[in-house]
Amino acid sequence: MSIPESLNEALEKFAARGKLLVCLDFDGCVAELVADADSARPVPENAAAIEKLAELDDVVLAYVSGRPLETLRELATPPEGTLLFGSHGAERWLGPDSPGLELTPAQEAGRIEILDTLEEIAADHEGAWVEHKPAGGAIHVRHIEDIELGERILDEARAAMATIDGASSKDGKRILEAVVVKSTKGEAIEELRAATSPDAVFFAGDDVTDEHGFAVLGPQDVGVKVGSGETKAGHRIDAPAALADVLNRLAALRG
Ligand SMILES: O=P(O)(O)OC[C@H]1O[C@H](O[C@H]2O[C@H](CO)[C@@H](O)[C@H](O)[C@H]2O)[C@H](O)[C@@H](O)[C@@H]1O
């Protein structure tokens, strides 16, 4: 087992609380980052640990992801009953009565303009591609080997998105997303907290958008940054492959 001692101590305190909310990011956290976004899947050991947590009393599981809700369900195959936030918080499944995302006509027009503009930019650069999402779209440059060229394409996309009414951009890992519904993972975690009334919250994530999630954690909560980069999280692990140890430790402490 390779859990930093400070994280192990935090997990012991966390597990001793009554009801727990365990929130997980998907790409780069539960799943390794891969070039073909459709082939991302949970690291098998992470999937097994998540199944264990799902069987425990007073542990609520949730995914908080940038993926569209339907894609998240398909790729993450979460245990039944797992609460889901997709599209960085713009889409939610908190039970069968959760309303779907509905865009106003102006938002739908903005979404189409975002997608058309990103597709035009991608068409000029071999390897760039556009992911269509319910609240907007994302241009991916992971297939482009030249990192600086990829950054220039993302800069071009960012500048173009700034000219579209109602569009706001989010930076990610070799991706630029633009959406017409403003939301953050911090807001999603606060909504989950309000909906489930836990005694403490765990959140693990790897990306800049996950920092909004770490920012809403309190002293009783546990934040785990996966990988390198500045973070507000109190703890860090190296890679998705190390997450299973953390989740299994939590399951063992509660078991
Ligand atoms: O919040 P997450 O669950 O981490 O989702 C964030 C974005 O993840 C996906 O893109 C990232 O993962 C891809 C697959 O590993 C990778 O090819 C890409 O370079 C990464 O940026 C996803 O495609 C986006 O929709 C999510 O918003």
Residue 1: predicted pLDDT: 56
Burial degree of 226 (CB within 10 A; 0-12, 13-18, 19+): buried
**What average pLDDT does this structure show over 1-14?**
93
Task: Return the axis-axis angle of helices 105-123 and 147-161, rounded to nearest 10°.
Answer: 150
Phi and psi at residue 85, in whole multiples of 5°? -115, 130
pLDDT in tens, 109-166: 999 999 999 999 999 999 999 999 999 999 999 999 999 999 999 999 999 999 999 9
Extended beta strands in 182-248, E state: 200-205, 222-226, 235-237
66 lines ligand 1 (CB under 6 A): yes
Residue 83: predicted pLDDT: 98
Which atom of ligand 1 is nearest the CA belonging to 185? Answer: 1
Domains of the chain: 5-100+183-254 (3.40.50.1000), 105-179 (3.30.70)
41 lines ligand 1 (CB under 6 A): no
CA 195 to chain CA centroid, nearest Å: 19
**What average pLDDT does this structure show over 52-75?**
98
Whether this model's pTM surpasses 0.95: yes
Map tokens 């990988």 to a residue.
227
The span from the CA of 95 to the CA of 210, in Å, is 23
Spatial contact of 135 and 87, defined as CB atoms under 8 Å apart:
yes
CA distances (Å), 255 to each of 52, 53, 224, 248, 252, in order?
9, 9, 21, 10, 5
Best mutation site among 24, 27, 139 for ligand 1 pocket (most ligand atoms within 8 Å of CB):
27
ipTM: 0.99
Atom 9 of ligand 1, residue of closest alpha carbon: 27
Phi and psi at residue 164, in whole multiples of 5°? -95, 125
| Mean pLDDT, the chain, integer | 97
72 lines ligand 1 (CB under 6 A): no
174 lines ligand 1 (CB under 6 A): yes
